[in-house]
Amino acid sequence: TSAFHPAEGRTRTTCGYCGVGCALDVVTRDGEVTAVLPARDGPVNRGHACVKGRFSHGFRTSPERLTRPLLRRDGVLEPAGWDEALAHVARGLRTAVDAGGPDSVAAISSARATNEENYLVQKFMRVVIGTNNVDNCSRLCHSPSAAGLTASFGLSGGTDTFDDVERADCLLVVGANPVEAHPVVGARLLRQVLRGARLVVADPRAVGLALHADVHLRPRPGTNVALFHGLAHVLLAEGLTDEEFLRERATGLPELTELLADYSPDRVADLTGVPAADLVAAARLYGGAGRPAIVYGLGVTEHLHGTDGVRSLSNLAVLRGAVGTDRGYGVNPLRGQNNVQGASDMGALPDLLPGYGKVTDAAVRSRAEDVWGVPVPARPGLRIPGMFAAARAGELRALWIVGEDVCATDPDTDQVARALDACPFVVCNELFLSETARHADVVLPAASWLEKDGTFVNFDRRFQRVRPAVPPPGQARTDFDILWAVAEAMGAGLGCPTPADALAECGRLAPVFAGLSHDRLDREGSVPWPCRSPHGPGEAKLYTERFATPDGRAHLAAAPYLPPGEQPDDDYPLVLVTGRRWAHYNSGSMTRRGGNLTLDPVDFLDLHSDDAGRYGLRDGQDVTVESRHGRARLVVRVGEQTAPGQVFCSFHFPASGVNRLTSDVADTVTSCPEYKVTAVRVAAS
Ligand code: SF4
């Protein structure tokens, strides 16, 4: 600290924006953040950080920040004291349970919250309320990764440590725009390309990395499964498979081989729009590499058949023997939000307990019951879309939303708002009076990532510490404290008074986290899970001996390609794809309140110049975008990044109403929305 003013302090923490998990040093003076510096010894970022982590901390002192609880009285949200607010929440939840039983109450937890807070949310619902009605926002992004990777390999996480990318000689980057959405990872991928690795990008848009690609595949949105089968077809047809690996460590090859006979490059070209020659070239690059790597994003998961997409993509690594061996960097999802991996790891899921044990498994429940001292309900709870449907049907009497702006980020937001209005009692923990909080009966002012203690898990399964650099403003409290206080107000106890205690308790009921503790993370910086012993290093690279499936083998999937839920037609001739931009994070509630807004001040609708000519639109023009579900207003940006027939915008500016456009079409396995394919039309406003 000697280089700083004597009154300055520095706190090492983990970035609260994307899932890369950059280690940051937060510099404070007189109790306020003056700078955020990337940590040189950060295990993932190594001295780098992006515009979000470095500069987007102005939200902390925004005059719009919530500093007192709000209670709805006569239809209006008014300030109240904590005692009154806690008593009101306790009474509201108890009334719902008394009237409709425990399953008439639900909670939505958050990737923005720490592991310990997520652990407490699911414990609160299971122990205090007595229901499995708890879910988190991974439902809306990477739930198909959880389902797909578990089915293919056995565990719900990426297969390798990102450090191994630096030994890869071919990168297959699919449905991801890391240059903008995960900039530090984007830079590390690009550096590997500059060192000589070959690069295949599969994405409908000309994303940043595509400029450096040997081959850029541009499938029509919604045709991923056909594309991956086409690549697999070429691997098989040209003998680019690892036969010994397939014989010794995989299962399902005969069924897949039979299926792939229908996915010749010419047929796949018809289905996807990708020229057959490009498909063959990409397959040869991946199949001919010594150490190929697959990195993917939400362009794979957010589809009607997102889980099939993850599994079909995983097939490539299995066919090539590039997972669980030293001959490749497996299959690795880029997690969007800072702690979306951890929220699921901690069991904030309706069917899984901490560590991914099934609630339907009596032995798993018994382990949790031994630790918690109460019976755990055996029936899986509601997923987030099911919670909203239950609310609209009058079957949900109370909903607690911990730090998610579902009225901005979930699909078909008019339906979400109707669900909240139909639910008799809605509680929100929030930093700001978000779109969602406006529908709540009680709004509890919450602490941000700069103000709390705990841990996050990043995209390559690293636990890292989160430390408070500054106190929460006014009367705001951490979600951890709020959960504790509500449990107390209900006459119940949550049993682990500090975040360190919560992680330790989680390790007692989930063996994959048994070796983790705050003390250890304070000493070592980061530790990957699975980590079963306080003395073991954790498993950065998975499956080197056997896969975690019941038979110990990787499972090839033979799922046929099926079309997306919506297709363009004469009325709605364009396909809308939504995603992220470089300066903002999710609903933008933090990044829009500070300097980053000057970098990226409005949301644009990216439109190809051919379509601009066809529809008579010009750059900078205000337009109305309509889908079968709703209407949004945006500003056109004409260019070539988006393919003809497609448009793109972000979801960082809820006021534009982008998620009024998206549909409730969702992955058939996990209910993840199909954000990547919505048929729309565009007209001048
Ligand atoms: Fe790192 Fe992501 Fe934070 Fe940027 S937003 S500093 S890439 S963790």
- Same domain, yes or no, for 324 and 434? no
| Ligand 1 centroid – CA 18 distance (Å) | 5
Tell me the three state secondary structure of residue 627: strand
Among the candidates 61, 89, 105, a domain finishes at 61
**Mean local confidence (pLDDT), 666-685:** 92
Mutate to test the pocket of ligand 1, among 50, 59, 185, 586 (most ligand atoms within 8 A of CB): 50
Alpha helices in 154-275 (DSSP H): 178-181, 183-194, 224-237, 243-249, 253-260, 265-272
- Nearest Cα residue to atom 1 of ligand 1: 22
Residue 611 has phi, psi (to 5 degrees) of: -70, -35
Residue 617 lies in a domain: yes
Residue 634 lies in a domain: yes
- Nearest Cα residue to atom 4 of ligand 1: 50
**Mean local confidence (pLDDT), 105-114:** 96
* Residue listed under structure tokens 């045709």: 223
Mutate to test the pocket of ligand 1, among 14, 17, 112, 582 (most ligand atoms within 8 A of CB): 17
Q: Is the pLDDT of residue 559 over 60?
A: yes
Q: Are strands 631-639 and 622-627 parallel, antiparallel or unpaired?
A: antiparallel
Which atom from ligand 1 is nearest to the alpha carbon of 458? 8
- Same domain, yes or no, for 293 and 350? no
Rg for the chain (alpha carbons), in Å? 24
- Same domain, yes or no, for 153 and 237? yes
Tell me the three state secondary structure of residue 357: coil
Domain that holds residue 181: 143-334
Please compute, for residue 74, the number of CA atoms within 13 A of its CA located in the half-sphere on the CB side: 0
Percentage of residues of the chain with pLDDT beyond 90: 87
Which atom from ligand 1 is nearest to the alpha carbon of 54? 6
* Residue listed under structure tokens 């992006």: 50
Q: Identify the CA nearest to 432 among candidates 447, 422, 419.
A: 447
Residue 685 lies in a domain: no
- Whole-angstrom Cα distance, residue 350 to residue 548? 22
pTM over 0.80: yes
Q: Please, which pLDDT band fits residue 2 given cuts at 50, 70 and 90?
A: very low
Residue 435 lies in a domain: yes
Residue 598 has phi, psi (to 5 degrees) of: -70, -25
pLDDT, residue 596, reads 74
- Same domain, yes or no, for 42 and 98? no
Render pLDDT for 465-500 as a digit per residue (tens, 0 to 9): 999 999 999 999 999 999 999 999 999 989 999 999
Residue 668 lies in a domain: no
CA 522 → CA 360, 451, 466, distances in Å? 36, 17, 10
Sign of the Cα torsion 538, 542, 546, 550 reads positive
pLDDT, residue 3, reads 47
Full strand arrangement of the beta sheet holding 454-457:
454-457, 462-466, 526-528
Q: Are strands 23-29 and 32-38 parallel, antiparallel or unpaired?
A: antiparallel
- Whole-angstrom Cα distance, residue 166 to residue 169? 8
- Same domain, yes or no, for 290 and 354? no
- CATH number, domain containing residue 127: 3.40.50.740
Q: Please, which pLDDT band fits residue 1 given cuts at 50, 70 and 90?
A: very low
Residue 260, both tokens: 């792939």
pLDDT, residue 6, reads 59
Which atom from ligand 1 is nearest to the alpha carbon of 338? 8
Tell me the three state secondary structure of residue 492: coil
> What separation, in Å, do the N-terminal and C-terminal C-alpha atoms of the chain show?
55
- Same domain, yes or no, for 214 and 259? yes
Q: Please, which pLDDT band fits residue 444 given cuts at 50, 70 and 90?
A: very high
- Same domain, yes or no, for 290 and 357? no
Neighbours of 95 (CB within 10 A): 14
Cite the beta strand spans of 299-424 per DSSP E: 329-333, 398-402
- Whole-angstrom Cα distance, residue 39 to residue 67? 30
- Whole-angstrom Cα distance, residue 178 to residue 197? 17
| Ligand 1 centroid – CA 285 distance (Å) | 30
Q: Is the pLDDT of residue 5 over 70?
A: no
Residue 369: which H helix or E strand, with range? helix 362-372
Among the candidates 334, 353, 378, a domain finishes at 334
| Ligand 1 centroid – CA 308 distance (Å) | 29
**Mean local confidence (pLDDT), 103-126:** 97
| Least confident range of 56-65, 198-207, 366-375 | 56-65
Which atom from ligand 1 is nearest to the alpha carbon of 49? 6
| Ligand 1 centroid – CA 54 distance (Å) | 8
Render pLDDT for 568-610 as a digit per residue (tens, 0 to 9): 999 999 999 998 888 888 888 888 887 777 788 888 999 999 9
Cβ proximity of 111 and 338 under 8 Å: yes
* Residue listed under structure tokens 């306080």: 534
Percentage of residues of the chain with pLDDT beyond 70: 99
pLDDT, residue 655, reads 83
| Ligand 1 centroid – CA 136 distance (Å) | 21
> How many domains, in total, are found in the chain?
4
- CATH number, domain containing residue 613: 2.40.40.20
The DSSP call for residue 133 is -
| Ligand 1 centroid – CA 112 distance (Å) | 13
Residue 484, both tokens: 């504790």
Residue 203 has phi, psi (to 5 degrees) of: -165, 140
Cβ proximity of 639 and 606 under 8 Å: yes
**Amino acid of residue 65:** R
- Same domain, yes or no, for 171 and 284? yes
| Ligand 1 centroid – CA 22 distance (Å) | 6
| Ligand 1 centroid – CA 44 distance (Å) | 10
pLDDT, residue 651, reads 84
Which atom from ligand 1 is nearest to the alpha carbon of 21? 8
Residue 183 lies in a domain: yes
Mutate to test the pocket of ligand 1, among 15, 339, 341 (most ligand atoms within 8 A of CB): 15
- Same domain, yes or no, for 500 and 364? yes
Q: Are strands 462-466 and 454-457 parallel, antiparallel or unpaired?
A: antiparallel
Give the DSSP letter string of 438-463. GG-SEEEEB--GGG--EEEE-TT-EE
* Residue listed under structure tokens 């991996």: 341
- Same domain, yes or no, for 315 and 376? no
| Ligand 1 centroid – CA 184 distance (Å) | 6
Q: Which residues line ligand 1 (CB under 6 A)?
A: 15, 17-18, 20-22, 45, 49-50, 52-53, 182-184
pLDDT, residue 452, reads 96
The DSSP call for residue 239 is T
Render pLDDT for 257-314 as a digit per residue (tens, 0 to 9): 999 999 999 999 999 999 999 999 999 999 999 999 999 999 999 999 999 999 999 9
Average of per-residue pLDDT values in the chain: 94
- Nearest Cα residue to atom 2 of ligand 1: 18
Q: Please, which pLDDT band fits residue 127 given cuts at 50, 70 and 90?
A: very high
Give the DSSP letter string of 78-130. EE--HHHHHHHHHHHHHHHHHHH-GGGEEEEE-TTS-HHHHHHHHHIIIIII-
Give the DSSP letter string of 537-578. ---SS--SS--SSTTSSEE---PPP---S----SSS-EEEEE
Among the candidates 21, 40, 61, a domain finishes at 61
Render pLDDT for 63-87 as a digit per residue (tens, 0 to 9): 999 999 999 999 999 999 999 999 9
- CATH number, domain containing residue 257: 3.40.228.10
| Ligand 1 centroid – CA 227 distance (Å) | 30
Which atom from ligand 1 is nearest to the alpha carbon of 14? 8
Residue 675 lies in a domain: no
- Nearest Cα residue to atom 3 of ligand 1: 53
Render pLDDT for 397-439 as a digit per residue (tens, 0 to 9): 999 999 989 998 888 889 999 999 999 999 999 999 999 999 9
**Amino acid of residue 531:** C
Cβ proximity of 668 and 605 under 8 Å: no
Residue 540 lies in a domain: no
Mutate to test the pocket of ligand 1, among 46, 182, 189, 462 (most ligand atoms within 8 A of CB): 182
**Mean local confidence (pLDDT), 525-549:** 95
Sign of the Cα torsion 464, 467, 472, 476 reads positive
- Same domain, yes or no, for 257 and 324? yes
Helices and strands: H and E segment counts in the chain: 24, 26
- Same domain, yes or no, for 86 and 157? no
